[in-house]
């Protein structure tokens, strides 16, 4: 395969469906080569959610299932990180072609009570589809495993959520927060895992990495026994242009019908404080990170007081190139997940939408 062919393949590997075969690595899976995928823009009847039981029930119905997508990792400067060499086919390395996007798959279930288990796979890239197998690496965990056992999880009826530790470790190290914003009326979402680490000298918490996934629902939960074929998941986005600051500027106002606020009780467990009401701001200032897909991160920390905002301009993630820039400039809606820590303890979470004023 020529260098030009390899470069073209690197750009289109994740965007064009091809043949597929059995998957192997951790287990053997029968791949899914043909399926009907619901459009991310397909209308879904909205269900009123006035109590937390209503909110959780609607969330569970939206979050469960098989999600295919593309995942990319960004560092503290917003730079896309290449895939580790051990996962890249020799042909790419020989020609100096770097890959930045994983094809990924999330298998989400609610096994019991109020929990969400995600079996997350990163499918290793191949050169073409000559191989008769697709290898993958897998992580499986309850997304709320570090929330201190709270029975109320910060979620929205559309499938959005925040999974964060109830308390930041006093001895430093690193922690992970997972935020998800889901498109109303469809089956698409943006999911980000933020790795926070303390600076070795100042001891201030800071964002070290962001693993950003754009995912589309394509079927009921099956435990990941079927994999999307090689080249599934959608187009790569790691090297797309970052969100323009101008797209976030100006005045924005809360959409009460799409806003949910959770606060910590005296015992440290989350409780629903407000649904369908105005939400006060707990994050401000210029974005810390500007990422592709209309995504940004705001982060500020002073000792154990941490303010975090993960946001996305609605409608930008479904387009690319110049169309994405135009969509960002014209975006009148944005979705956000906000978290506030005081003295190292999670005090407040807001999942909300805003419209341009």
Q: Enter the tokens of residue 131.
A: 């191989």
What's residue 117's pLDDT?
96
Average pLDDT over the chain reads 82
What's residue 278's pLDDT?
59
For the structural domain made of 3-28+49-356, what CATH number should be given?
2.40.128.20
pLDDT one-digit tens code per residue, 106-126: 999 998 889 999 999 999 887
DSSP annotation of 30 reads: -
Whole-angstrom Cα distance, residue 272 to residue 59? 14
pTM of the model: 0.85
Whole-angstrom Cα distance, residue 297 to residue 22? 38
What's residue 134's pLDDT?
65
Cα separation of the two ends of the chain: 53
Q: Give the H or E element holding residue 62.
A: helix 52-63
Burial class (CB in 10 A: 0-12, 13-18, 19+), 182: buried
Q: What is the CA radius of gyration of the chain?
A: 20
Higher local confidence (pLDDT), 277 or 197: 197
CB 340 within 8 A of CB 348: yes
Q: Give the H or E element holding residue 66.
A: strand 65-75
pLDDT one-digit tens code per residue, 297-315: 999 999 999 999 999 999 8
Percent of the chain with pLDDT over 90: 58
3-state DSSP assignment of residue 12: helix
């Amino acid at each position: 395969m020529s260098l030009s062919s390899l470069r073209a393949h690197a750009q289109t590997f994740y965007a064009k469906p091809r043949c597929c075969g059995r998957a192997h690595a951790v287990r053997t899976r029968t791949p899914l080569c043909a399926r009907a995928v619901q459009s991310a823009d397909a209308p879904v009847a909205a269900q009123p959610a006035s109590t937390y039981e209503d909110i959780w029930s609607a969330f569970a119905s939206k979050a469960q299932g098989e999600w295919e997508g593309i995942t990319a990792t960004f560092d503290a400067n917003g730079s896309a990180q290449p895939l580790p060499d051990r996962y890249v086919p020799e042909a790419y390395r020989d020609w100096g072609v770097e890959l930045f996007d994983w094809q990924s798959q999330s298998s989400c279930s609610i096994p019991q009570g109020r929990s969400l288990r995600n079996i997350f796979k990163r499918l290793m890239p191949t050169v073409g589809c000559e191989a008769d197998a697709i290898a993958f690496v897998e992580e499986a965990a309850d997304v709320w495993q570090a929330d201190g056992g709270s029975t109320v999880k910060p979620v929205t009826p559309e499938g959005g959520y925040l999974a964060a530790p109830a308390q930041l470790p006093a001895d430093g190290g690193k922690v992970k927060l997972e935020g998800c914003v889901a498109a109303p009326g469809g089956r698409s979402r943006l999911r980000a895992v933020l790795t926070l680490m303390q600076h070795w000298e100042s001891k201030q918490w800071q964002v070290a990495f962001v693993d950003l996934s754009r995912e589309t629902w394509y079927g009921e939960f099956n435990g990941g026994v079927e994999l999307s074929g090689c080249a599934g998941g959608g187009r790569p986005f790691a090297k797309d242009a970052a969100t323009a600051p101008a797209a976030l500027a100006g005045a924005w106002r809360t959409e009460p019908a799409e806003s949910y606020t959770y606060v910590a009780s005296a015992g440290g467990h989350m409780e629903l404080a407000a649904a369908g009401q105005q939400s006060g701001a707990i994050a401000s200032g210029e974005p810390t990170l500007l990422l592709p897909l209309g995504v940004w991160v705001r982060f500020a920390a002073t000792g154990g007081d941490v303010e975090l905002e993960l946001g996305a301009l609605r409608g930008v993630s479904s387009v690319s190139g110049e169309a994405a820039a135009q969509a960002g400039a014209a975006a009148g809606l944005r979705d956000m997940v906000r978290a506030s820590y005081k003295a190292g303890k999670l005090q407040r979470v807001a999942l909300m939408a805003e419209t341009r004023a």
